[in-house]
Amino acid sequence: MAYTTIDKPSDYFNTKLYTGTDNSNAISGIGFAPDWVWIKNRGATGHHMLFDKVRGATKVMYSNLTDAETTVSGHLTSFDSDGFTLGDNSGKGSTNGNTETYVAWNWKAETSFTNDASSTGVGSIDSAGSVNTDAGFSIISYTGTGSAGTVAHGLGAVPKMIIIKSRNTVSLWAVYHQAIGNTHGLFLNATNAATDLGAYWNDTSPTSSVFSLGGDADINKSSDPLIAYCFAEKQGYSKFGSYTANNSSDGTYIHLGFKPAFFICKKSSGTETWHIHDNKRSPFNVSSAELYASENQAEDTNARLDLLSNGVKMRTDGGGYNTGSETYIYMAFAEQPFVTSTGVPATAR
């Protein structure tokens, strides 16, 4: 069996750096037509802005806020074949301020998906969206019922991480992660430790066909439209796991099986923000450029971790990464598999 089926991870995930113009601005060079785009101003205070094709261009949500979805004509105006186009930057936050520097993280879903639960017998709540079974990623739209139920995710594999947000209601960003389990969850917009959330996942783990919901309004408010970003692991391309800190500047090593392009970690056993690193903002080790999914502050620069040919090595005993014997969860995507299907090894940075 080949080590990986994805020899070129940048066909499915890629980070793009760009500079704003405060006028119509076509951002290209991503390498594919993105379905989920996450944008953050690097050099100044500004919200994390999330866009996807399922909800439609101009519709934005903010990972660091509980706000409902907003339609803003001056932010992302279209999804293009090799990127996206930005407008004149009106509205809350900024995607295109003149001379401002930005990072955009981009994922590909691509294939339309619909499930009529009563017709297919899969799940109990109808769902629709976009899915990429090769890359283990789907964007799923559904309408809440207020009662426990199940939703088809289209992946054909068990999701290891799910992020859900209500589109119409002020609500928390609910995060399911396999390392925490089906009785607890985290909030992408907050620093809370893993919290007992029985009314979120109905104390039931996802299957290869559906994820389970309780009756909580954050993830299943009656008649409310919601969006779910679902991720299954793909060897050599993505991984969603946990690690234990060793409280040393010669820090914990996390084996991924690939050279990471994107790494986000969060202390799950205590209070801490979500820390985001990528291979474009810090092209060399030590990876120092960090942003925070639950904070609107500008990019920080501190020696935090190394992105290696086969994983991540912590280079700090800091609380956000490697303090005490705390537990941390992570989400990672590859720049290159450790070994491709044809036997080509990844090189160190």
**DSSP states of 42-111 as a string?**
SSS----EEEETTT-TTEEEETT--PPPEE-TTSEEEEETTEEEE-S--SSS-SS-TT-EEEEEEE---E
**Residue 129: predicted pLDDT:** 98
Domain closes at, from 107, 135, 150? 107
Query: 151 forms bridges with which residues in the sheet?
Result: 125, 211
Whether residues 264 and 283 share a domain: the answer is yes
Q: Are residues 45 and 80 in the same domain?
A: yes
Residues 188 and 131 in one domain: yes
Q: Is residue 4 part of a domain?
A: no
- Model confidence pLDDT, tens digit, residues 133-164: 999 999 999 999 999 999 999 999 999 999 99
- Please tell me the pTM assigned to this model: 0.97
What is the tens place of the pLDDT at every residue in 238-284?
A: 999 999 999 999 999 999 999 999 999 999 999 999 999 999 999 99
Instruction: Let me know if residue 302 belongs to a domain.
Output: yes
Total structural domains within the chain? 3
Q: Tell me the pLDDT tens digit for each residue of 284-325.
A: 999 999 999 999 999 999 889 999 999 999 999 988 999 999
Residue 292 structural domain: 241-337
pLDDT attached to residue 341: 73
Banded pLDDT at 1 (limits 50, 70, 90): very low
Domain annotation covers residue 348: no
Per-residue pLDDT tens for 181-233? 999 999 999 999 999 988 999 999 999 999 999 999 999 999 999 999 999 99
b/e sequence 264-299, b meaning 16+ C-beta within 10 Å: bbbbbbeebbbbbbbbbbbeeeebbbbbbbbbbeeb
